[in-house]
Amino acid sequence: MAAGDTFRAAASDQLEIWAERTGCEIVMAEGEKAKASAVLSQAVKRGKLEDYDIVLCDTSGRLHTNYSLMEELISCKKAVGKVVPGAPNEILQVLDGTTGLNMLPQAREFNDVVGITGLILTKLDGSARGGCVVSVVDELGIPVKFVGVGEGVEDLQPFDAEAFVNAIFP
């Protein structure tokens, strides 16, 4: 795992806990002013050197309207691609199931900037149903790959379209 969220206080600590829970190695920022792209690049280099199957690169959450943070995503993608040509193989955008109609412009902008290959829809364990993701899938053709239904390791589950529709329209 690459702890590329270099902005949020304790973000790397939180990811370090998840690395321990799942038995993964983790690469974290060295120094206070580390760039996310440098952390991701370092992690991918390590993964390549140690012949890992997967390097999971986390970045900070951001609004699609924050130009400088969207530029950072471009830098992160380029940094990973310099280490492994053609990488990243997947770019998953995490969408909060409580977001509502803002999901579509958010996904549209992220897709234009970095080319999203899949979606993770979270917070479906509460009252949120995440129905607005249907518009994202319909317009952009980006599949939902996982859903989050809690905060445990087992709560990130492969997306089941039939179960999702049944939850929206009981």
CATH number at residue 140: 3.40.50.300
154 and 138 belong to one structural domain: yes
22 and 75 belong to one structural domain: yes
Tens digit of each residue's pLDDT (9 = 90 or more) over 60-69: 888 777 778 8
79 and 101 belong to one structural domain: no
100 and 63 belong to one structural domain: no
Residue 43, pLDDT score: 96
Q: What is the mean pLDDT of residues 36-46?
A: 96
> Residue written as tokens 């993701």?
133
Tens digit of each residue's pLDDT (9 = 90 or more) over 110-146: 999 999 999 999 988 766 667 789 899 999 999 999 9
Domain count, the chain: 2
114 and 153 belong to one structural domain: yes
Please state the pTM of the whole predicted model. Answer: 0.89
CA distances, 110 to each of 8, 71, 76 (Å):
20, 11, 13
Residue 127, pLDDT score: 63
Residue 69, pLDDT score: 83
